[in-house]
């Protein structure tokens, strides 16, 4: 390892790199300065950057001078930063000047969560503050600043870090950037491949489904259920079925919201399925519901994580037992477990799935790559530290439905379920929390083969497209704790929800009539529904996309 203070030698080394690598440097610089990671870098008296095996020291004050001169400083560090692409350079300036923390209470809870500690630990391998590899000094400095002020900017943190020297391992960061870039390229390739799939011969310009968002919920009952493992009763929504052709459906559903989700977010699905003749029970999970999100926003509790899964499984077990003994009256003979995100994962675990051996090893590698573009992987890795309760899959279980499901680290190759159950999965190409290629498509391939198992992917839909919140009908933002903007919800959420309801209904009708789902030629089917591009995949199609 050579040590030099020669700016010209370093600049020459940078210029020898490809444009793509310099863009990566800019991206990483921006990301680090935006997150907890990079802010420690310039707070010390000396900043040491490792690049191409060289360690190059700079005065930390150079950063402040460069920032105050709007990126025109001719200091040694300024010359290096000015090698970045214009967009990345402006991003660095804006991120340094922007508030880092606006709410001290919520920030404290985030920093002390399992995910926060793990990310800080991984950041410590890339950004060393006086040799601290745990990220603890960054956290302690933030907490100290929060004792003094309600709002902390990026530059506040940089100037406050009590350190003599900070090392930035740019070589390691470029490796991480390469991993992120490859994952995003795979996601982009998926969208391109799906969109280039020829339109199905059965398309016939299918008319979009209409969302019945304003119809009164005359079939909805709200009930409470006391359970031994909770301090307060479960709040349940029961949707009574409407008779279809004088008969009720044989199948009934239990729907579980995702992390921070509320039963009210899925009234659209309970309402529509009940009017098709199905009984639907929607669970609330205390401790990981909308009230938990509200407690996080108010700084009263840390964000919930995978530690809530055991209680969620016990919630489900209690509901099934209550229906069995007649305490909950819902008709139906065959059970379908359904859920969104963490609710979908809960459904799979309840159906008999257990993590494949080697999770700790897989997570070690994955967390080294800082999985900020697939946040579900943090939850999957936390399961290694969670003791899952024994859960016997229900005898009447007939199928599983997962909206924006995940499990690529838990089941990279094989997912064993009770018997051979059909599974319906859905996702969106704008979902960066559970990216469809690694999560839904990968999960579909890992499932035991069943001719009715399939996935439906909607172009432009996001992780939050299935969530119906107040004000989503164009009447205003509403008061829901999920104040979701278009950048999170994705395109036309009401239309996406209406189409998902039709896809789920068709899946259920095939179950109801004991018939095999329609064959998908080539394993992938491309449909246009109104303005939506819809893609159906069977397990053959999932394998083809991933190979």
pLDDT, tens digit (0-9, with 9 covering 90-100), for 476-495? 444 555 555 555 677 788 88
How would you class 262 by CB atoms within 10 Å of its CB: exposed for 0-12, middle for 13-18, buried for 19 or more? buried
Q: According to the per-residue pLDDT averaged within each range, which of 69-73, 82-86, 113-117, 267-271 is highest?
A: 267-271
Q: What is the domain class of 201-546 according to CATH?
A: alpha beta
What average pLDDT does this structure show over 531-539? 91
Of residues 75 and 45, more confidence is placed in 75
Check whether 434 has a pLDDT greater than 80: yes
Question: 3-state secondary structure string, 340-360?
Answer: ECHHHHHHHHHCCCCCCCCHH
Question: What pLDDT is stored for residue 545 in this prediction?
Answer: 86
Of residues 226 and 33, more confidence is placed in 226
Check whether 521 has a pLDDT greater than 90: no
Check whether 149 has a pLDDT greater than 80: no
What average pLDDT does this structure show over 160-185? 65
Question: What pLDDT is stored for residue 300 in this prediction?
Answer: 72
Q: According to the per-residue pLDDT averaged within each range, which of 67-71, 81-85, 527-531 is highest?
A: 527-531
**Are the beta carbons of 162 and 141 closer than 8 angstroms?**
yes
Of residues 487 and 275, more confidence is placed in 275
Confidence of residue 390 (pLDDT cuts 50, 70, 90): confident
Of residues 3 and 398, more confidence is placed in 398
CA distance 83 to 89: 9
Of residues 137 and 313, more confidence is placed in 313
Burial annotation 127-157 (CB, 10 A radius, 16+ → b, else e): bbbeebeebebbbebbeebbeeeeebbbbbb
Provide the 3-class DSSP secondary structure of residue 380. Answer: helix
Whole-angstrom CA distances from 443 to 114, 305, 531 are 25, 21, 27
Confidence of residue 170 (pLDDT cuts 50, 70, 90): low
Least confident of 74-88, 308-322, 511-525: 74-88
Confidence of residue 391 (pLDDT cuts 50, 70, 90): confident
Q: Which of 263, 392, 423 is nearest to 320 (CA)?
A: 392
Question: What pLDDT is stored for residue 405 in this prediction?
Answer: 96
Check whether 94 has a pLDDT greater than 90: no
CA distance 311 to 259: 13
Confidence of residue 194 (pLDDT cuts 50, 70, 90): confident
Q: Which of 26, 141, 162 is nearest to 93 (CA)?
A: 26
Of residues 442 and 11, more confidence is placed in 442
Mean pLDDT, the chain, rounded, equals: 75
Question: What pLDDT is stored for residue 304 in this prediction?
Answer: 78
Question: What pLDDT is stored for residue 135 in this prediction?
Answer: 62
Q: According to the per-residue pLDDT averaged within each range, which of 153-167, 175-189, 286-300, 495-509 is highest?
A: 495-509
Question: What pLDDT is stored for residue 469 in this prediction?
Answer: 74
210-236 pLDDT, tens digit per residue, is: 555 445 577 789 999 999 999 999 999
Check whether 252 has a pLDDT greater than 70: yes
Q: What percent of the chain has pLDDT over 90?
A: 33
Of residues 264 and 38, more confidence is placed in 264
What average pLDDT does this structure show over 417-436? 89
361-387 pLDDT, tens digit per residue, is: 888 765 555 555 567 888 898 898 899
Radius of gyration for the chain, computed over Cα atoms and rounded to the nearest angstrom: 26
Every domain of the chain and the residues it spans: 2-175, 201-546
Q: What percent of the chain has pLDDT over 70?
A: 61
334 has which bridge partners?
251
Check whether 389 has a pLDDT greater than 50: yes
Count CA within 13 A, CB hemisphere, residue 547: 7
Question: What pLDDT is stored for residue 33 in this prediction?
Answer: 34
What average pLDDT does this structure show over 323-337? 93
Look at the block and give the residue holding tokens 């997962």.
Answer: 402
Question: What pLDDT is stored for residue 34 in this prediction?
Answer: 34
Instruction: Tell how far CA 534 is from the center of its chain.
Output: 21
């Amino acid at each position: 390892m050579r040590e030099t203070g020669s700016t010209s030698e370093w600049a020459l080394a940078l210029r020898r790199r490809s444009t793509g690598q310099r863009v990566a440097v800019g991206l990483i610089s921006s990301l680090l300065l935006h997150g907890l990671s990079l802010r420690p870098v310039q707070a010390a008296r000396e900043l040491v950057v490792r690049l191409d095996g060289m360690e190059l020291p700079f005065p930390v004050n150079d950063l402040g001078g460069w920032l105050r001169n709007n990126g025109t400083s001719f200091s040694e560090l300024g010359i290096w930063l000015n090698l970045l692409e214009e967009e990345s350079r402006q991003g660095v300036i804006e991120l340094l000047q922007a508030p880092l923390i606006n709410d001290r209470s919520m920030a404290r809870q985030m920093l002390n969560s399992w995910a926060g500690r793990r990310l800080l630990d991984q950041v410590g391998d890339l950004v060393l503050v006086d040799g601290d590899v745990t990220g603890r000094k960054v956290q302690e400095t933030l907490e100290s600043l929060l004792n003094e002020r309600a709002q902390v900017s990026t530059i506040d943190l940089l100037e406050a870090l009590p350190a003599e020297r900070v090392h930035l391992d740019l070589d390691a960061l470029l490796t991480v950037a390469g991993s992120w870039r490859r994952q995003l390229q795979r996601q982009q390739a998926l969208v391109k491949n799906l969109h280039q799939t020829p339109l199905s011969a059965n398309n016939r310009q299918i008319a979009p489904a209409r969302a019945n968002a304003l119809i009164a919920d005359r079939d909805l009952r709200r009930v409470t259920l006391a359970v031994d493992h909770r301090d307060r009763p479960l709040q349940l929504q029961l949707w009574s079925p409407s008779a279809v052709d004088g008969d009720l459906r044989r199948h009934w559903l239990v729907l579980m919201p995702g992390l921070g989700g509320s039963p009210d977010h899925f009234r659209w699905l309970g309402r529509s399925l009940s009017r098709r003749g199905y009984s639907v029970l929607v669970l609330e999970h205390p401790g990981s519901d909308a009230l938990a999100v509200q407690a996080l926003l108010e700084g009263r509790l840390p964000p919930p994580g995978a530690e809530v899964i055991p209680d969620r499984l016990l919630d489900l077990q209690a509901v099934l037992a209550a229906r069995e003994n007649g305490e909950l009256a819902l008709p139906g003979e065959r059970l379908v477990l359904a859920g969104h995100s963490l609710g979908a994962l809960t459904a799979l675990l309840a159906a008999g799935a257990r993590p494949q051996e080697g999770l700790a090893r897989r997570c070690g590698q994955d967390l080294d790559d800082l999985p900020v573009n697939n946040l579900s992987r943090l939850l999957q890795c936390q399961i290694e530290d969670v003791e899952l309760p024994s859960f016997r899959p229900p005898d009447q279980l007939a199928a599983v439905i997962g909206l924006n499901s995940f499990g690529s680290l838990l089941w990279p190759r094989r997912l064993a379920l009770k018997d051979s159950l059909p599974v319906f999965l859905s996702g969106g190409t704008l979902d960066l929390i559970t990216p469809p290629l690694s999560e839904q498509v990968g999960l579909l391939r890992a499932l035991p083969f069943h001719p009715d198992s399939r996935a439906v992917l909607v172009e432009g839909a996001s992780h939050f497209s299935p969530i119906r919140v107040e004000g989503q009908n164009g009447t205003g933002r509403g008061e829901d704790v999920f104040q979701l903007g278009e950048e999170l919800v994705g395109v036309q959420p009401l239309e996406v929800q209406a189409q998902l309801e039709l896809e789920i209904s068709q899946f259920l009708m095939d179950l109801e009539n004991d018939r095999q789902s329609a064959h998908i030629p080539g394993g992938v089917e491309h449909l246009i529904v109104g303005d939506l591009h819809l893609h159906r995949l069977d397990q053959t199609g999932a394998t083809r996309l991933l190979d």
